[in-house]
Amino acid sequence: MASFTLHGIPVSRGIAIGRAHLLTPAALDVKHYLVPEEQLEAEVRRLQDAIAQVHRDLQDLWTDLPKDAPTELGAFIDVHALILSDPMISEAPLDIIRTRHYNAEWALVTQIDELSAQFDEIEDPYLRERKADIQQVAERVLKVLMGTAQLTPGKLSEDEYQPQMIVVAHDISPADMLQFRDRSFIGFVTDVGGQNSHTAIVARSLDIPAAVGMSQASQLIEQDDWIIIDGDAGVVVANPSPLVLDQYRMRQAANLKARKKLLKLKKTPAVTRDGTSVRLYANIELPDDCEHALDSGAEGIGLFRSEFLFMGRAGHAHSMPSEDEQFEQYRRSVLAMKGRPVTIRTLDIGADKPLDQTEHTALNPALGLRAIRYCLAEPQIFLTQLRAILRASAYGKVRLLIPMLAHAFEIDQSLAMIEQAKAQLREAGHNFDADIDVGAMIEIPAAALALPMFVKRLDFLSIGTNDLIQYTLAIDRVDYEVAHLYNPLHPAVLQLIAMTIMAGKKAGIDVAVCGEMAGDVKLTRLLLGMGLREFSMHPAQLLSVKQEILNSDLGTITPQTRKILRTMEPQAIAEAVQQLQVI
Ligand code: PEP
Ligand code: MG
């Protein structure tokens, strides 16, 4: 097999070596998990039972056919029953469960995808059309399967676990990415996507090498091809030669060694060489991530992206999580962090984080009814969330963070609604922290240019550099065609960040950076030089950033940074930032 190399955008560091697992859009709609050996036969039976149920359903359809029904209808049911009995449907997926340990839904979809590909090559148009019938039959089985209790994915033993699968797909939504949290996969490659799309962010939070914007990857790479992802360079090598494979294995081993060494810094306080303390917080998507946050030595949660509790709930009758359900999740995080602060950001839905994949999207979602705009338009949803967060504040230190604020009235309305939620809780007899800190994400240029409006009304600020860059440079963070224009070092971006840090300092309120810039070690010194003392990032990046802080001396960095901020030439800025790393 010929070896080839693809270049795209690096989004999650490290090297992954494994076999390609191609996912079609249909395959992405079902759950993916690996089934432990002792549960394999139960999983096989689950699929057999679902197939038997569909047989009975088809039989009932036949019996209930009205006398005057067109004859094609009966023939149609016959065809579906025949397809269902074919070993390609009734046997092959069972083998996939037994040999690859896939759960029933995943096994069925994998088989259907393989069959569909074969049908696409058939010349005869009549036969080619039968592909739709196969898909309809499969959908019937899937519907039954999804209605039946799934086995709880048990723990896999070391040798059952197949840690060599790399997902290759055209695109993966952030909600789909959440499905992969059971770590059945060791890497991700997608044709589209940008460095700071939420899909990329979730891949980073899983701490799995990933590369996006690979344009044709899902067409060029074949199922089970050996591939290497170089997540640092954004390179994918398919069918590597033994020599190339060896080189990457060596780099992989060296990375592992370096990471082990970093673990020694877990309990070391983050203090610069000249004695300045820096707070290092973690970004999380779900309460379970608190464990990683603590493992990495985080002093608290600087950003809990609460919208991930709301996404991908298609099976839940389009419902929102209730107040109690949310409260449980927030409380779980607060308790897990054992007294360390937990900053819960209110629902930031919209743009590349739709509530539901099927919902209508706005004309220009990134500029549409997103985040606080959505929440103020849906006061009941917002109040429910605010009550849940406030209730969790009775169990530890909680901070409330509001995304996408730009207008004074939005801040005032948000604060009024927080007061309203407090009054409702008082009436219902719930405890909460009446003095809860409320902060704003600074992620729209207008906010960074009108800071007095914010510092006057709020307790802290958190700079969302991902959106701040997107909106300052007018480039969609998800669109790989403009990904090359996404530049954190653009002088306009640097000015806005520096202004925000300064304004916070002057007003005596905390300012953090919680966008992806906070976790980029190449930018740690620059941010320190601007005066930043609170960083929030994915747990996987935290110890590398800490190491950089331990080696930094503010006495030399600060004057250099001032010079950088006076520079308007991108090339000079890039060189000076590089220079900062070696002084
Ligand atoms: C940001 O915009 O930088 C941020 C942290 O929020 P999100 O990435 O969730 O939009
Ligand atoms: Mg944002």
Find the range with the poorest average confidence among 17-31, 189-203, 378-392: 17-31
Q: Are strands 534-537 and 279-284 parallel, antiparallel or unpaired?
A: parallel
By most ligand atoms within 8 Å of CB, the mutation choice from 467, 468, 469, 538 for ligand 1 is 467
pLDDT of residue 134: 87
pLDDT band at 151 (very low <50, low <70, confident <90, very high): very low
Domains 4-23+162-261 and 267-582 in one fold: no
pLDDT tens track for 527-561: 999 999 999 999 999 999 999 999 999 999 999 99
**Is-contact 90 49, C-beta < 8 A?**
no
pLDDT at 361 over 70: no
Q: How confident is the model at residue 471 (pLDDT cuts 50, 70, 90)?
A: very high
Q: How far, in Å, CA of 201 to CA of 540, rounded?
A: 12
Can you tell me whether residue 208 is helix, strand or coil?
coil
The Å distance, Cα 464 to ligand 2 centre, comes to 5
Distance 354 CA to ligand 1 centre (A): 15
Confidence of residue 183 (pLDDT cuts 50, 70, 90): low
Please give the pLDDT value at position 60: 85
Nearest to 480 by CA among 167, 218, 195: 195
Ligand whose nearest atom lies closest to the CA of 345: 1
Q: What is the pLDDT of residue 347?
A: 96
Is 318 annotated as catalytic? no
* Bridge partner list, 12: 210
Which of 443, 516, 520 has most ligand 1 atoms within 8 Å of its beta carbon, as the pocket-test mutant?
A: 443
* Six token digits for residue 59: 């039989």
Span 374-402, mean pLDDT? 97
Looking at the predicted structure, is the pLDDT value of residue 205 above 90? no
How far is Cα 72 from Cα 69, in angstroms, rounded to an integer? 8
pLDDT at 517 over 50: yes
Residue 80 CA to residue 84 CA, distance in Å, equals 6
| Ligand 1 probe mutation, 346, 347, 466, 496, most atoms within 8 A of CB | 466
Higher pLDDT pick, 178 / 438 = 438
Catalytic residue among 32, 80, 290, 514: 514
**Could you say which of 1.20.1260.10, 3.50.30.10, 3.40.640.10, 3.55.40.20 is the CATH number of the domain covering 4-23+162-261?**
3.50.30.10
Please tell me the predicted confidence (pLDDT) of residue 65. Answer: 74
3-state helix, strand, coil in the chain (%, to 5): 55, 15, 35
The ligand with the least distance to the CA atom of 462 is 1
In this prediction, residue 123 has a pLDDT band, given cuts at 50, 70 and 90, of confident
Atom of ligand 1 nearest to the CA of 305: 9
The percentage of the chain sitting over the pLDDT mark of 70, rounded to a whole number, equals 92
**Greatest mean pLDDT range, 96-100, 184-188, 276-280:** 276-280
Residue 549 structure tokens:
């802080």
Distance 195 CA to ligand 2 centre (A): 14
Contact predicate 120/128, CB 8 Å: yes
Whether 514 is catalytic: yes
- Per annotation, catalytic residue among 198, 290, 292, 538: 198
pLDDT of 32 over the 90 cut: no
Distance of CA 406 to the CA centre of its chain: 25
Ligand 1 proximal residues by C-beta, below 6 Å: 201, 303, 305, 348, 443, 464-467, 514-515
Radius of gyration of the chain from its Cα atoms, rounded to whole angstroms? 26
Ligand number with the minimum distance to the CA of 197? 1
Sequence-ordered alpha helix ranges (H) in 530-567: 539-550, 554-566
For residue 331, what pLDDT band results from cuts at 50, 70 and 90?
very high
- Whether 354 has a pLDDT exceeding 80, the answer reads no
Atom number, ligand 1, closest to the C-alpha of residue 303: 5
pLDDT band at residue 576, thresholds of 50, 70 and 90?
A: very high
What is the CB-side half-sphere exposure of residue 582 using CA atoms within 13 A?
Answer: 4
267-582 under CATH 3.20.20.70, yes or no: no
Would you say residue 242 has pLDDT above 70? yes
Residue 54, token pair as written in the block: 């569909």
Average pLDDT over the chain, rounded to whole? 90
Distance from Cα 515 to the centre of ligand 2, integer Å: 7
Residue type for 88, please?
A: M
- Residue whose C-alpha is closest to residue 101's, from 49, 23, 37: 37
Residues with CB under 5 A from ligand 2 (ion): 443, 464, 467
> Given this model, what pLDDT does residue 350 score?
80
pLDDT score, position 153: 45
pLDDT of residue 583: 77
Prediction pTM value: 0.81
User: How far, in Å, CA of 247 to CA of 72, rounded?
Assistant: 61
> For residue 40, how far is its CA from the centre of ligand 2 (angstroms)?
42
Residue 204 pLDDT grade (very low, low, confident, very high; cuts 50, 70, 90): confident
pLDDT, tens digit (0-9, with 9 covering 90-100), for 409-422? 999 999 999 999 99
Tell me, what's the pLDDT at 468?
A: 98
Amino acid at 521: V
517 Cα nearest atom in ligand 1: 3
Residues forming a β-bridge with 166: 20, 187
Give, in degrees to the nearest 5, the angle at Cα 498 between 494 and 502: 175
Nearest atom in ligand 1 to 443's CA? 2
Please tell me the distance from the alpha carbon of residue 529 to that of residue 543, in angstroms, as a whole number.
Answer: 19
Q: Which of 189-193, 323-327, 382-386 has the lowest mean pLDDT?
A: 189-193
Q: What is the model's pLDDT at position 163?
A: 58
- How far is ligand 2, taken at its centre, from the CA of residue 426, in Å? 32
CATH of domain 35-147: 1.10.274.10
4-8, 47-51, 122-126, 256-260: least confident range: 122-126
Characterize the bridge pairing of strands 165-169 and 187-190: parallel
The full set of domain ranges for the chain reads 4-23+162-261, 35-147, 267-582
For residue 347, give the ligand nearest its CA.
1
- Residue 314: predicted pLDDT: 53
Check: CB of residue 551 under 8 Å from CB of residue 273.
yes
Distance CA 462, CA 341 (A): 14
Show the DSSP H helices in 369-407 as ranges.
371-377, 379-392
Each residue of 186-219: b (16+ CB within 10 Å) or e?
A: bbbbbbbbbbbbbbbbbbbbbbbbbbbbbeebbe
Q: Whose CA is nearest to atom 9 of ligand 1?
A: 305
Sheet bearing 165-169, strands edge to edge: 4-7, 235-238, 226-230, 15-23, 165-169, 187-190, 210-212, 9-12
pLDDT value, residue 315: 47
d(CA 223, ligand 1 centre) in Å: 34
